[in-house]
Amino acid sequence: MFAIQFTETDETTREPDWQELARCNDGTGSMTELFFSEQLDDIAAAKAFCAGCPVKDDCLDGALARREPWGVWGGQLFLNGKVLASKRRRGRPPKVARPEDELPDVPVPVHLQERLRTA
């Protein structure tokens, strides 16, 4: 049998959870549509927003652990549970850029790269 111990925490010394530091956490959920949009300009805006987030590595780590099916998490676009690779193709760039080439490239941290399932 387990005994549950309750300890008092001093709110002034408590370390904030990473979610509290999230750049998208405005307390209203007003950005949800942007992060789950299917419009390329919204996806690009969400990825660019994540690029400046101080907790993007934690966010991506959590999304991979939860096997998020959709949305932009940690600067990466998830489609059908896989991260859409944003590698540049070999050879000369096309005269007309593909829409996915216009998306900002947010690097994946080395320690998370082997857990990535890419589409």
Closest approach of ligand SF4 to the CB of residue 69, in Å: 15
Compare residues 99 and 109 and give the one whose CB is closer to ligand SF4.
Answer: 109
Report the amino acid identity of residue 40. Answer: L
- Choose between 34 and 82: whose C-beta lies nearer to ligand SF4: 34
CB distance 81 to 69 below 8 Å: yes
Q: Cβ 89 to ligand SF4, closest distance in Å?
A: 26
As beta bridge partners, residue 76 has 73
Which residues in this chain contact ligand SF4 in the complex, by CB under 6 A? 22-24, 35, 49-50, 53, 55-56, 59, 73-75
Q: Are 19 and 54 in contact (CB under 8 A)?
A: no
Report the residue number, 54 or 93, with the smaller CB distance to ligand SF4.
54
Distance between CA atoms of residues 117 and 112, nearest Å? 10
